[in-house]
Chain A
Amino acid sequence: MIAYSWLIPALPAVAFFVIFLLGSRLPGRGAPVGIVAVAASLGMSIVVLGQIAAGHGPFESSIQWLQVGGLRLEFGEYIDGLTAVFFVVVCLISLCSQVYSLGYMKGDRRFSSYYAFLSLFTASMLNLVIADNLFQLLVGWELVGICSYLLIGHWWEEKENSDAAIKAFVVTKTGDVPFLFGIFVLTLAAGGVANIPQISNMAASGQLGTGLLTVAALLLFGGAIGKSAQFPLQVWLPDAMAGPTPVSALIHAATMVCAGVYLVGRMYMVFAPSGHALAFVGTIGAITMLIAATMALVQDDIKRVLAYSTVSQLAYMIASLGLGPAGYTPAFFHLFTHAFFKALLFYGAGSVIHAVHTNNMSEMGGLGKRMRTTYWTFAVGTAALIGIPPLAGFWSKDDIIATAFNTHHYAIWIVALITAFLTAVYMTRAFLMTFRGEYRGEGHPHESPAVMLAPMVFLAGLAIVAGFLGAPFIHGAFHYWVAFPGGETERFNWALTILTVAVGLTGIGVGWVLYRDYREVDPLKRLGGLWTLWTRKYFMDDIYNEGIRHPIQYPIAGATASFDRTVIDGAVNGVGLSTRRLSGVLRYIQSGNVQRYAVFLFAGVAILAFVITRL
């Protein structure tokens, strides 16, 4: 079965082509095709994961695609625990999103193309995950980028949405440049080998120098920073909320942003020997988790709260990977559990937005009474994110924080604790503002259709139980699936756990005190300067706009544009014009007069004869 894993990305890819080409002519406008395909992939993924769990080792196979000089480009599959876990997560969340979209996107003007791109998105991510070489991974990586561009800009008629799509694309592309160079560096250093297991072996056996590995790791990490929205490229993810909510769920829980974390994990053999690279990864993670959590505190848009929360949670994973081999498993365990409750939270937010037709929490309130299922599932998601035992988020987040302490990364440990506190505050705030108090909006919101609620209930169940897969008491299986050599460590510490839970509960308490009753003026405004700093996103958009975009846009882009208009266009038009003039002259040769042609014929023959005989 493992050998046939390539079918897992292939099925959604086929679905994409079918939906894309046949579109609205399919029954259900193409949606059932996508759902069936991804469901089949999910079934296969679970079987593959089961076989991995049963001890079938890493599986690899590849076929040569083409050879360029010393460089062999291949298509291949490399299946280990990490791959299998990603298969399950991606297929599961994609399936939920597609089912959910049946309700959420009902009657949308581009329903078929939406489903086509969802399938392609899934296929791309699965291809990225299955790739056994860096170039195939890059193909998936870029396809994921373009799909998120297409889906974020799904409602492109509004400029805000298409702007957000472009921003997402350009910002992630900024990270892709170092990523690409990282691939080149690694491939060159490995003598034209792009195969990931082989590179890993070379790195592990010390065939590649530490300095080189550091450079390669930092360059690769550039891609992860862009894709996983880490500081300083986190600015695109909140804007990406312009897309349909199921897409946000998919991007945040399983595809796009997880690609960056996956990349670091897949190439961890390159990172692990380099202390500097790990320190850099950990620092970026720590910075990001803190600033993202603070920004989440002050958002009014419910999806933006969740977006910043995603950035913050991804930063946990990145920081955990920065802890060294011991942080490897906790990072992916957190990604695994996070996928379920973050998707759940997005579905909840989508359900609310579907009901009240606004994203602003200041216009919500009191929805708990009107939307019972959404309310309860959202509550489960919130609690899981905050880390209330025994929900999924508790196990994974506690795992990361404990590992930070155990590996003596006390700075990261403290930042993680502060972030955990802030997480509790902002999630409590969002929950209370949305579901408690009196309804402040217009109209009569009602519960969403069952097709939307079903994935939510399902994921709520997973958000409760998924953590036990990695729970330390019962020797959770997860740590056998996804493991890195040398990563075994002490995993549970009562004192630390109690501290972490206490921090979370304190956060809930603070949030409860501040937001129990809705106030027109946000209580946090009393923070003054900090409030401004947070709402303005640490002025990073402004810095990028004023510091980078404008200097490029006006002098450089202006000069380029005028150069383009005058010189390039001039040359192109000149070529066209002179061709026309020349042809105006030459066309008299084509007179239609056969005798004129015959003159050329005989003259040509005569000249040729003279030339050949050298008369």
Chain B
Amino acid sequence: MIHLTILLIFAAFLFSAGVYGVLARRNAVLVLMSIELMLNAVNVNLVAFAQYLKDLTGQIFALFVIAVAAGEVGIGLAIVILIYRNRETIDVDKIDLLKW
């Protein structure tokens, strides 16, 4: 028997750390890593509830999230590299053309 709250609070901590990383990190690759952290938090939730409710659907969804996350990282890193090639930097706060 495992307390459900241990897993859920672990997931909440991962998510919050991910939020902090997305907001505070300057390097685009680190921002992507932080997003991975948030996705993992979601997966922990899915699996925890799948086991808690004895329903396989949560696990299946976790698998799909992993697959989609893999694709997302691939595309995200391709964009990062493209930006680096064009601007010689991947600092997110320097990429601010979308403004007044």
Contact present between A and B (CB < 8 A): yes
| B70 interface residue per 8 A CB criterion | no
| Distance of A592 Cα from B95 Cα, bound (Å) | 8
| B92 interface residue per 8 A CB criterion | yes
Query: Contacts A594-B92, A595-B92, A595-B93: A602 and B23 contacting too (C-beta < 8 A)?
Result: yes
Scan residues 42-83 of chain B and give those whose CB is less than 8 A from a CB of chain A: none
What band does the interface of chain B fall in when counting residues whose beta carbon is under 8 Å from A?
A: 10 to 19
CB pair B19–A602 under 8 Å, yes or no, is: yes
| B99 interface residue per 8 A CB criterion | yes
CB pair B99–A595 under 8 Å, yes or no, is: no
Q: What chain A residues lie within 8 Å of B88 (beta carbons)? A: none
Scan residues 592-614 of chain A and give those whose CB is less than 8 A from a CB of chain B: 592-595, 598-599, 602
| B32 interface residue per 8 A CB criterion | no
| Distance of A562 Cα from B20 Cα, bound (Å) | 58
| A587 interface residue per 8 A CB criterion | yes
CB pair B93–A599 under 8 Å, yes or no, is: no
Pick from B22, B93, B99: contact of A590, CB below 8 A.
Answer: B99
The closest CB in chain B to the CB of A606 belongs to: B19
Pick from A592, A595, A602: contact of B97, CB below 8 A.
Answer: A592
Q: What chain B residues lie within 8 Å of A590 (beta carbons)? A: 99-100
| B98 interface residue per 8 A CB criterion | yes
- 0/1 per residue, B11-26, Cβ < 8 Å to A? 0000000010011100
| Distance of A251 Cα from B22 Cα, bound (Å) | 78
CB pair A595–B100 under 8 Å, yes or no, is: no
Report the interface size for chain A: residues with CB under 8 A from the other chain. 10
CB pair A595–B98 under 8 Å, yes or no, is: no
- 0/1 per residue, B84-100, Cβ < 8 Å to A? 00000000110111111
CB pair A591–B96 under 8 Å, yes or no, is: yes
CB pair B23–A592 under 8 Å, yes or no, is: no
Scan residues 1-42 of chain B and give those whose CB is less than 8 A from a CB of chain A: 19, 22-24, 31
- 0/1 per residue, A525-558, Cβ < 8 Å to B? 0000000000000000000000000000000000
Q: What chain B residues lie within 8 Å of A593 (beta carbons)? A: 92-93, 96
| Distance of A454 Cα from B99 Cα, bound (Å) | 72
| Distance of A594 Cα from B96 Cα, bound (Å) | 7
Q: What chain A residues lie within 8 Å of B93 (beta carbons)? A: 593, 595
Pick from B22, B31, B99: contact of A592, CB below 8 A.
Answer: B99
Scan residues 577-598 of chain A and give those whose CB is less than 8 A from a CB of chain B: 587, 590-595, 598
Q: What chain A residues lie within 8 Å of B97 (beta carbons)? A: 592
CB pair A591–B99 under 8 Å, yes or no, is: yes
CB pair B23–A599 under 8 Å, yes or no, is: yes
| Distance of A593 Cα from B31 Cα, bound (Å) | 13
Q: What chain B residues lie within 8 Å of A602 (beta carbons)? A: 19, 23
| Distance of A587 Cα from B99 Cα, bound (Å) | 9
The closest CB in chain B to the CB of A603 belongs to: B23
Cβ of B35 to closest chain A Cβ, rounded Å: 11
Q: What chain B residues lie within 8 Å of A599 (beta carbons)? A: 23
| Distance of A590 Cα from B92 Cα, bound (Å) | 15
| Distance of A598 Cα from B95 Cα, bound (Å) | 14
Pick from A587, A592, A598: contact of B96, CB below 8 A.
Answer: A592
| Distance of A587 Cα from B97 Cα, bound (Å) | 14
Scan residues 280-314 of chain A and give those whose CB is less than 8 A from a CB of chain B: none
Cβ of B83 to closest chain A Cβ, rounded Å: 12
The closest CB in chain A to the CB of B92 belongs to: A595
Scan residues 103-134 of chain A and give those whose CB is less than 8 A from a CB of chain B: none
| Distance of A602 Cα from B21 Cα, bound (Å) | 12
Q: What chain B residues lie within 8 Å of A594 (beta carbons)? A: 92, 95, 98
| Distance of A592 Cα from B92 Cα, bound (Å) | 10
Cβ of A581 to closest chain B Cβ, rounded Å: 15
Which residue, B19, B95, B97, has most C-beta atoms of chain A within 10 A? Answer: B19
| Distance of A479 Cα from B24 Cα, bound (Å) | 96
The closest CB in chain B to the CB of A596 belongs to: B93
Q: What chain A residues lie within 8 Å of B99 (beta carbons)? A: 590-592
The closest CB in chain B to the CB of A597 belongs to: B98
Pick from A587, A591, A598: contact of B23, CB below 8 A.
Answer: A598
Cβ of B13 to closest chain A Cβ, rounded Å: 15
Q: What chain A residues lie within 8 Å of B23 (beta carbons)? A: 595, 598-599, 602
Q: What chain B residues lie within 8 Å of A591 (beta carbons)? A: 96, 99
Q: What chain B residues lie within 8 Å of A598 (beta carbons)? A: 22-23
| Distance of A593 Cα from B98 Cα, bound (Å) | 8
| Distance of A90 Cα from B59 Cα, bound (Å) | 87
| Distance of A599 Cα from B20 Cα, bound (Å) | 9
Cβ of B11 to closest chain A Cβ, rounded Å: 16
| Distance of A594 Cα from B99 Cα, bound (Å) | 10
CB pair A587–B92 under 8 Å, yes or no, is: no
Q: What chain A residues lie within 8 Å of B22 (beta carbons)? A: 595, 598
| Distance of A590 Cα from B23 Cα, bound (Å) | 16
Q: What chain A residues lie within 8 Å of B98 (beta carbons)? A: 592, 594
Q: What chain B residues lie within 8 Å of A587 (beta carbons)? A: 100
The closest CB in chain A to the CB of B99 belongs to: A592
| Distance of A591 Cα from B100 Cα, bound (Å) | 8
| Distance of A591 Cα from B94 Cα, bound (Å) | 11
The closest CB in chain A to the CB of B94 belongs to: A593
| Distance of A602 Cα from B16 Cα, bound (Å) | 10
The closest CB in chain A to the CB of B96 belongs to: A592
Cβ of A466 to closest chain B Cβ, rounded Å: 75
Cβ of B25 to closest chain A Cβ, rounded Å: 8
Q: List 27 A-B contacts (CB under 8 A).
A: A587-B100, A590-B99, A590-B100, A591-B96, A591-B99, A592-B95, A592-B96, A592-B97, A592-B98, A592-B99, A593-B92, A593-B93, A593-B96, A594-B92, A594-B95, A594-B98, A595-B22, A595-B23, A595-B24, A595-B31, A595-B92, A595-B93, A598-B22, A598-B23, A599-B23, A602-B19, A602-B23
Interface residues of A, Cβ cutoff 8 Å to B: 587, 590-595, 598-599, 602
Besides A590-B100, A593-B92, 12 other CB < 8 A contacts?
A587-B100, A591-B96, A592-B96, A592-B97, A592-B98, A592-B99, A594-B92, A594-B98, A595-B22, A595-B23, A595-B24, A599-B23
Interface residues of B, Cβ cutoff 8 Å to A: 19, 22-24, 31, 92-93, 95-100
5 closest A-B pairs by CB: A592-B96, A592-B99, A592-B98, A593-B96, A587-B100
